[in-house]
Structure formats: structure tokens, C-alpha cells
Amino acid sequence: GCTQKYIVKNYFYYYLFKFSAALGEEIFYITFLPFIYWNIDHSVSRRMIIIWSIVMYIGQVSKDLLKWPRPLSPPVVKLEMRADAEYGMPSTHAMAATSISFSFLIATMNQYKYPFELGLVAAFVFSTLVCLSRLYTGMHTVLDVIGGTLISAVLLVLFYPAWDVIDHLLLTSPFCPLLSIVVPLVLCYNYPKLDYYSPTRGDTTTILGAGAGATVGFWLNNQYAAPVYTSENLQLGFPLITSKIVVVALARFFVGIFVVLMTRRLMKSVVLGMLGYRYKFPIGDLEARRRLEVEVPYKFITYSSVGFSATVLVPLLHELLGLM
């Protein structure tokens, strides 16, 4: 569709909510979640990634089953166009923000020395900003946002009692690697079909692929690798963070992000090249890349490689570079 013309009258709100909207997109997931794994706590990261994968899958499928339209434009001015082809209810931005912020709070409140009230306010502010950004950018109704938040909250409540059991099985079960790959692939290939192309299937495959690769990495590390990081990480408690710890954390982050982005770029080229050869289409053919037999393996393999790289290859590189 064509982008509507609009005049920005309040640049503070404009940039605040454009930035907040980005906190529910791939650029945030691919930086924040690995940062937690590399610098804060492996167990916290594992729980966040698993909850995020489950919540996002349910949210994406719900959209294509309910088929509630997004706000009409006009009168609403839409500041984003990529996601306009998706349905509206529930807001997966709201679901992701709620699940990530509150799962982080729940997973850390008994492990770190910080005021619980401060963490609660931070989680509330984070999720609220993302939710409001969906209204400001014209992508969702108030009901979409409330629905997404409530669904995410219910899922958190349901899964919280089983967190430790799920985490233990993911680390110790000999069937974990197989199930971590097969189950998400089955879900992706059996995603609800629409009468027109929507990016929801591709986005869902991206999320499940990243979660699958990370889960295999978690299991592999637990089975065959000694713990890469010691308790001298940020696990001493946030008030005791020193300049040295900050420098090491930033070094880990930039090294890790470089490896992750290179992995994504390399695997994308390789997998698309192989699929293009198999199905006889040029890599730049967007319509061919949207076909089920191309989109699912292309995105699943690419992002499972990203998840595996972030949890296995990057920590090994950190150890090699002395960033432990």
C-alpha cells in the first residue's frame, strides 16, 4: 500500500514511540536476548527464550485464526507498512514486551540484589511503552493491545510453575535435540493457511527457528561443555557492577553480535542458493521466496543457525579471546 502523508507535530512522542515499536521487533530480539545469555545468566536467558518462543507462536497463530482486521486507514495514519498485511488481534508486540519484561523480572527477582519494586516499575514501563507505540503508529486498536497483554500474562502464569521442570528436561533429556527441531518444523509447515500472503508464517518460522537452535545449544553445552562463564559475571549483583565488568560485557556483546550477524548473512546466502538451485528460481525472486517449500526451510535453517551460534560458537569464541 501507499504510505499516507502526515505532519509530525511532536517529535518527542514520534521518536519515543518509533523507538518503542522497535523493542518488539527482530533487532531487539537478536541483541537483547543474546546479551542476557552472554553477560547476565544462562538460566534466565533460557527461560526467557522458551517463554518468548511459545508466546509468540500462540500470538501469531491466533492472528491468522481470528482474522481481526487492523485499524482502518484513514482515519488512522499508519507509520509502518511491512506488518500491514497481518491481522490485528492480538498484538504480538504487546505479547512479546509483556513476556520478555516480566519473565526477566520473575527469573531474576530471587537471584539478584535489586529492589523488587524497581524491577516491577521497569517491566511495567517497558511493556507499556511498546503497547502505546502500537496505538501511536496506527497498527493496533486498544483491544488488540489489551488482548495481547492478557494472553501473555495468562501464559506466564500457566508456565511459571513448570519452568524448572521444562528447563531440566531441555538440558538433560536425550530427546531434546530431536524434539527441538522436529516439533517447531511441524508447526511451521502446518501453519494456518491464508487466502493471501502474510509475513506471519515467515516471522513465526524465524522465531521458532531461533528458539530451536538456541535450545539445541543449551543441551549441547550442558552435555559436553564445561560452564564457560563463572560467577564473576554480573551475577554478583547489579550494585557491584564495576567499570571492568562493563568493558568485558560490551566486548562480549560486540564480538557476539558480529558473529551472529555474519552467521545470519552467510546462512541466508547458502540456504537460498541451495533452494534456488533445487526449485529453479533466482535468489532475488521475492514471490518464489514466499512459497511454503522455500520460506520455511530458508528461515528455519538460517535462524536456527543464528540461535546455535549465539549459544555455542560465541561463548567458545569469548573463552578463546579471554573474555570470560
All residues at 6 or more sequence positions from 235 whose CB lies less than 8 Å from its CB, including other chains:
40, 41, 111, 112
pTM above 0.75, yes or no: yes
What is the band of 233 on the pLDDT scale with cuts at 50, 70, 90? Answer: very low
Q: 53 is written with which cell numbers?
A: 518462543
Q: CA 121 to CA 280: how far, in whole Å?
A: 53
With a cut of 90, say whether residue 237 has pLDDT above it.
Answer: no
In tens, the pLDDT along 113-151 reads 778 888 899 999 999 999 998 888 888 889 999 999 999
Work out whether the CA dihedral 182, 191, 307, 51 comes out positive or negative.
Answer: negative
Active site residue 42: no
Candidate list 42, 140, 168, 318, residue with the active-site label: 140
Most confident of 66-70, 105-109, 212-216, 235-239: 212-216
Q: Grid coordinates standing for 113? A: 540484589
Given the residues 42, 93, 168, 318, select the one marked as catalytic. Answer: 93
Annotated active-site residue 318? The verdict is no
Amino acid 303: pLDDT: 94
Q: What is the pLDDT of residue 136?
A: 85
Dist. CA 37–CA 32, nearest whole Å: 9
pLDDT band at 159 (very low <50, low <70, confident <90, very high): confident
User: Could you tell me how far CA 67 lies from the centroid of its own chain?
Assistant: 23
Cell numbers 560452564 label which residue? 227
All structural domains of the chain with their residue ranges: 11-230
Q: Note the pLDDT of residue 262.
A: 94
pLDDT score of 83: 64
Q: If pLDDT is split at 50, 70 and 90, which confidence band does 4 have?
A: low
Which amino acid, one-letter code, is at 293? E
pLDDT tens for 260-299 read 999 999 999 999 989 888 888 888 888 888 888 888 999 9
Residue 30 has pLDDT above 70, yes or no: yes
What pLDDT was estimated at residue 238?
46
